[in-house]
């Protein structure tokens, strides 16, 4: 049964990813892979929040947690496209752009994951009445 939830989440996440990519087709910023960066940063934030706010509190069935975390968010983000974009920039000898893209993806991903985690903690604390 868990495979069904992960599969459905994967389909939905992949479709959302595709739609976001279409939204930014004409806004590549001189070949900068902005849609992949945005998707991955949003996914880092969402997974940081989700694992802190939802998954650790076990307020959902494990199948739904896996479907949302692994399925939906996992298929929404795209490490393979990030890697291919970075390689293409390097092959085009756009090393500064490649370095910027990789740095923003890496450090931005960590920052966005932290922000999602922090927001999940703050919201959880407010629900419990620990923070005014």
| Domain coordinates in residue numbering, the chain | 2-128
**Residues in the chain with pLDDT values less than 50:** 131-132
In this prediction the pTM is 0.85
Extract long-range pairs of 42-46: CB within 8 Å, 24+ residues apart.
42/76, 42/112, 43/73, 43/76, 43/77, 44/77, 44/108, 44/109, 44/110, 44/112, 44/113, 44/116, 45/112, 45/113, 45/115, 45/116, 46/73, 46/76, 46/116
How confident is the model at residue 107, as a pLDDT? 98
- 74 annotated as a binding-site residue: yes
How confident is the model at residue 132, as a pLDDT? 40
How confident is the model at residue 48, as a pLDDT? 95
How confident is the model at residue 96, as a pLDDT? 96
- 36 annotated as a binding-site residue: no
């Amino acid at each position: 049964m868990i495979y069904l939830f992960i599969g459905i989440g994967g389909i939905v996440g992949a479709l959302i990813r595709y739609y976001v990519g279409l939204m930014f087709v004409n806004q590549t910023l001189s070949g900068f892979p902005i849609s992949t960066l945005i998707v991955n940063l949003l996914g880092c934030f969402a997974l940081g929040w989700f694992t802190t706010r939802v998954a650790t509190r076990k307020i959902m069935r494990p199948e739904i947690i896996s479907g949302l975390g692994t399925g939906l968010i996992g298929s929404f983000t795209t490490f393979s496209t990030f890697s291919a974009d970075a390689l293409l920039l390097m092959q085009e000898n756009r090393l500064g752009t490649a370095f910027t893209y990789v740095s923003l993806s890496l450090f931005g991903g960590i920052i966005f994951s932290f922000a999602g985690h922090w927001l999940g903690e703050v919201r959880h604390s407010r629900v419990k009445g620990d923070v005014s």
